[in-house]
Amino acid sequence: MTLTDLPDHPAPDAHLYSRIEDGAAQAGLAVQGALHPARQPVKALDSGTLLLLGTSGAFWPLFQSSPEFLDGAPDPVDRWSVRVIGALAETLGGTPYFPFGGPPYTPFINWALASGRFFTSPSQMLVHDSAGMMISLRGAIHFKQEFDIPPPPLAESPCDSCPSRPCLAACPVSALADGGPYDLAACHAYLDTSAGAGCMSGGCLARRACPLSFAASRDPDQTAHHMRHFHPQ
């Protein structure tokens, strides 16, 4: 990513959010949450503005042409995230954070929930107001200054108005229960069988069952990549 449309200095505060959106879109990313830590207390930060970046529907085709995808080395998505989000943060005058590389780990779940755009589903997995359960947060950028951010589009969890709650019924081995806990052993055992091939190639059936997940436009190859990382075979 060259970020050709972004100058090498921070933009005025009034325009910074839209410029971050533009820079993220160039890389196949989307701003999936934002907050002011001074007003929405979170772990590790107490001021400024924090933006959470997740993959968009354009991510996978762009990523497939990246050096990290092509070099065959481990953790290509993480290395891509460090390079691309790091460059965006440097260009715009922010500090990048990533949900990997620990312990200790950066408190991304705490940040996500505080943004008002992520919620805890009945299955205890996170659900996003537009990406559903197809969530892939790749990093965040923190800025020392406060600037305007849009309010969350939903006043309450989308799960509250979902009568069928398919995320609970879709798992073939009932690894997900209302309120938890998540039966990780049952999940992995199923993925080791021929019947689990569909989950490995297409993604977790529970995540896919969420009505909002359809809007994420996730490339099946991206989902299969994440499943191989979750359950190496």
Residue 168 belongs to a domain: yes
Name which of 159, 152, 155 is nearest 213 in CA terms: 159
pLDDT given for residue 3 in this prediction: 46
Residue among 87, 90, 82, 86 nearest 9 (CA): 90
Task: Name residue 137's amino acid.
Answer: L
Taking 3-state DSSP, the helix, strand and coil percentages for the chain, each rounded to the nearest 5, stand at 40, 15, 45
Question: Structurally, how many domains does the chain consist of?
Answer: 1
**pLDDT for the residue numbered 125:** 93
Sheet holding 29-35, edge to edge: 29-35, 49-55, 137-143, 95-97
Domain-located, residue 151? yes
Question: Is 217 a member of any domain?
Answer: yes
Segment 121-138, tens digit of pLDDT: 999 999 999 999 999 999
Asked whether residue 3 is domain-assigned, the answer is no
pLDDT in tens, 18-46: 999 999 999 999 999 999 999 999 999 99
Residue 26 maps to a domain:
yes
| Owning domain of residue 209 | 13-230
Contacts of 175 (CB under 8 A, 6+ apart): 182, 183, 184, 186, 187, 190, 206
What residues of the chain score a pLDDT lower than 50? 1-12
Q: Is residue 125 part of a domain?
A: yes
Task: Using a cut of 0.85, tell me whether the model's pTM lies above it.
Answer: yes
Q: Does a structural domain hold residue 2?
A: no
- The residues, any chain, with a CB within 8 Å of residue 6's CB and separated by 6 or more, are 19, 22, 23, 88, 91, 92
Which pLDDT score is estimated for 233?
Answer: 74
Q: How does DSSP classify residue 85?
A: H
